[in-house]
């Protein structure tokens, strides 16, 4: 089949199909998933009910619940929840030196980028000794979730850990699911060593989120949880928010490529396919001003796809969420892109820099044909943990500010108190807070 990706020239149809978003927690529950839940719990439960039970067990039973769910969910038996020094060393030794060097290169680039982000405390003093300011302090302890399974992502661990370290977080721990052999994926352990993670715990899924949020005998309670995960991880993060901070609720990944007639169709197709191989729910989309380019990209997708190892995943993503949308001009393309608010936005157009100012909503913008989203996933420098599901309308990529907190400083001079108290007292009276008004007037001798 050469037409793995559809072409849409009707904008209404495009908005109702490839550009229409579905909330991540409305994903259809497959029979296999339902059967898995029934196997683990001995009764049919919804994913949210399963997560509620897991979190309750972890909060009540601590380590015992973690060991139990390791066996029941991951079919893994572990002697200790924390990965030992021997395990770390063995993983390092088993990993190809060139791959270790690649992780070191990526970490260095990520660190150099985030060290440019300003996050200093400040205090402004007036002539009378009054002051206003902000104290900016790092969080005390951060927990990172690192998915395991058949495709561990050490790059995601680096993309969260390094900004937290640059922010000054003194303790960073990682939770990652063990395999049936009781071991965490070597690449996760190696990445943890590259950036100097304080501890790695062999626990995954909703139970890992519960352990980090509540603390157990072995796993310390953290101030914030960051990192991607499956449906159960996202449901757990949503439930523990308030007990602990979270980085968000990331959904399936997405790339939107804007291309004009000057774009190389082989590069457009390569970017679309790279996005599609992440997951069957990934969204690989192209918006182009050229019907000719759309057809050439469609042909290129069909030509390139068969040589890719994850071709079946790619085909499902293309059929489900993929598409090439043909528009009249680049302003219309940017309008659609801003409506969609993609995680990744690629500008494969002439004079790409001139269009950057038109981008309002995107997690990351990849400017020009030399800037591939795939390269940005690993070694360019900005974190690849970006807002998905349209949250780029208000969200930002993972950065240093995610791992600090602000404390405001109030120290107005006497003259400032006298100048502002009448207005403040009037507002307090209007809100019915007479004790507030009395405290203000007493301080300013206005009674």
Per-residue pLDDT tens, the chain, 447 aa: give them.
458 999 999 999 999 999 988 776 666 777 888 888 899 998 989 899 999 999 999 999 999 999 999 999 999 999 999 999 999 999 999 999 999 999 999 999 999 999 999 888 989 998 888 999 999 999 999 999 999 876 788 999 999 999 999 999 999 999 999 999 999 999 999 999 999 999 999 999 999 999 999 999 999 999 999 998 888 999 999 999 999 999 988 888 999 999 999 999 999 999 999 999 998 889 999 999 999 999 999 999 999 998 999 999 999 999 999 999 999 999 999 999 999 999 999 999 999 999 999 999 999 999 999 999 999 999 999 999 999 999 999 999 999 999 999 999 999 999 999 999 999 999 999 999 999 999 999 888 755
Q: Exposure string (b/e) for 107-144, b if CB count within 10 Å is 16 or more?
A: bebbbebbeeeebeeeeeeeeeebeeeeebebbebbbb
Q: Structural domain boundaries of the chain? A: 7-17+251-384, 46-120+139-250, 412-444
Predicted TM-score (pTM) of this structure: 0.92
Q: Is 90 a catalytic residue?
A: no
Burial of 389: CB neighbours in 10 Å, binned 0-12, 13-18, 19+: buried
Task: Tell me the backbone φ, ψ of residue 326, rounded to 5 degrees.
Answer: -95, 125
Cα of first residue to Cα of last residue in the chain, in angstroms, is 84
Task: Tell me the backbone φ, ψ of residue 344, rounded to 5 degrees.
Answer: -120, 130
Q: How large is the greatest C-alpha to C-alpha distance in the chain, in angstroms?
A: 84
Which pLDDT score, from 0 to 100, does residue 29 have? 76
Neighbours of 298 (CB within 10 A): 21
Spatial neighbors of 139 by CB under 8 A, at least 6 apart, are 164, 167, 169, 223, 224, 245, 403, 404, 405
Q: Spot the catalytic one: 344, 369, 373, 384.
A: 344
Which pLDDT score, from 0 to 100, does residue 25 have? 63
Burial of 430: CB neighbours in 10 Å, binned 0-12, 13-18, 19+: exposed
H or E segment at 149? none
Which pLDDT score, from 0 to 100, does residue 446 have? 57
Ranges of beta strands (E only) in 127-282 are: 131-138, 141-145, 171-176, 199-202, 224-226, 245-246, 254-259
Contact by Cβ (8 Å): 174, 83:
no
**Domain 7-17+251-384, CATH 3.30.450.20 — does that match?**
no
Q: How far apart are CA 336 and CA 104, in angstroms?
A: 38
Q: Spot the catalytic one: 87, 343, 369, 373.
A: 343
Which pLDDT score, from 0 to 100, does residue 99 have? 96
Q: Is 278 a catalytic residue?
A: no
Contact by Cβ (8 Å): 292, 324:
no
Please give the distance of CA 37 from its chain centroid, rounded to a whole number: 26
Which pLDDT score, from 0 to 100, does residue 1 have? 45
Spatial neighbors of 152 by CB under 8 A, at least 6 apart, are 146, 176, 185, 187, 188
Contact by Cβ (8 Å): 174, 144:
yes
Which pLDDT score, from 0 to 100, does residue 393 have? 96
Q: How far apart are CA 396 and CA 237, in angstroms?
A: 18
Contact by Cβ (8 Å): 74, 180:
yes
Which pLDDT score, from 0 to 100, does residue 422 have? 93
Do 7-17+251-384 and 46-120+139-250 share a fold? yes
Q: How far apart are CA 214 and CA 225, in angstroms?
A: 11
Q: How far apart are CA 211 and CA 164, in angstroms?
A: 20
Residue recorded with tokens 């969609």: 340
| CATH superfamily label, 46-120+139-250 | Nitrogenase molybdenum iron protein domain (3.40.50.1980)
Task: Report residue 27 as tokens.
Answer: 């994903």
CA distances from 222 to 244, 368, 401 (A): 7, 40, 17
Which pLDDT score, from 0 to 100, does residue 392 have? 95
Task: Report residue 445 as tokens.
Answer: 């001798």
Q: How far apart are CA 278 and CA 318, in angstroms?
A: 11
């Amino acid at each position: 089949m050469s037409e793995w990706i559809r072409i849409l020239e009707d904008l209404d149809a495009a908005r109702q199909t490839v550009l229409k978003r579905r909330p991540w927690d409305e994903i259809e529950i497959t029979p296999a998933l339902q059967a898995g839940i029934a196997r683990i719990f001995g009764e049919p439960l919804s994913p949210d009910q399963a997560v509620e039970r897991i979190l309750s067990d972890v909060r009540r039973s601590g380590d015992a619940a973690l060991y139990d769910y390791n066996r029941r969910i991951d079919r893994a038996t572990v002697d200790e929840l924390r990965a030992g020094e021997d395990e770390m060393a063995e993983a390092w030794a088993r990993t190809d030196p060139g791959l270790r060097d690649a992780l070191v290169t990526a970490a260095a680039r990520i660190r150099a980028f985030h060290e440019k982000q300003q996050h200093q405390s400040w205090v402004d003093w007036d002539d009378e000794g009054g002051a206003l300011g902000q104290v900016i302090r790092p969080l005390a302890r951060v927990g990172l979730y690192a998915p395991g399974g058949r495709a561990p992502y050490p790059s995601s661990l680096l993309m969260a850990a390094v900004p937290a370290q640059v922010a000054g977080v003194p303790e960073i721990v990682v939770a990652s699911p063990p395999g049936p052999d009781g071991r965490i994926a070597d690449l996760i352990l190696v990445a943890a060593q590259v950036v100097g993670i304080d501890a790695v715990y062999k626990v995954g899924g909703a139970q890992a989120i519960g352990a980090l949020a509540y603390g157990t005998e072995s796993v310390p309670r953290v101030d914030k949880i960051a990192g991607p995960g499956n449906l159960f991880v996202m449901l757990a993060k949503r439930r523990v928010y308030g007990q602990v901070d979270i980085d968000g609720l990331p959904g399936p990944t997405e790339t939107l490529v804007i291309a004009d007639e000057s774009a190389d169709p082989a590069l457009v197709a390569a970017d679309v396919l790279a996005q599609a191989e992440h997951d069957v729910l990934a969204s690989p989309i192209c918006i182009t001003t050229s019907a000719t380019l759309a057809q050439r990209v469609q042909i290129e997708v069909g030509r390139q796809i068969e040589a890719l190892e994850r071709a079946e995943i790619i085909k499902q993503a293309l059929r489900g969420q993929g598409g090439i949308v043909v528009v009249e001009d680049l302003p219309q393309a940017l309008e659609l892109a801003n409506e969609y608010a993609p995680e990744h936005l690629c500008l494969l157009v002439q004079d790409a820099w001139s269009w950057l100012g038109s981008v309002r909503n995107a997690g990351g913008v990849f400017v020009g044909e030399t800037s591939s989203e795939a390269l940005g996933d690993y070694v360019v420098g900005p974190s690849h943990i970006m807002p998905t599901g349209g949250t780029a309308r208000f969200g930002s990529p993972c950065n240093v500010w995610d791992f600090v907190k602000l404390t405001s400083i109030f120290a107005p001079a006497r003259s400032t108190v006298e100048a502002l108290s009448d207005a403040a007292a009037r507002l307090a009276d209007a809100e019915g807070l007479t004790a507030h008004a009395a405290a203000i007037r007493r301080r300013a001798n206005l009674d």
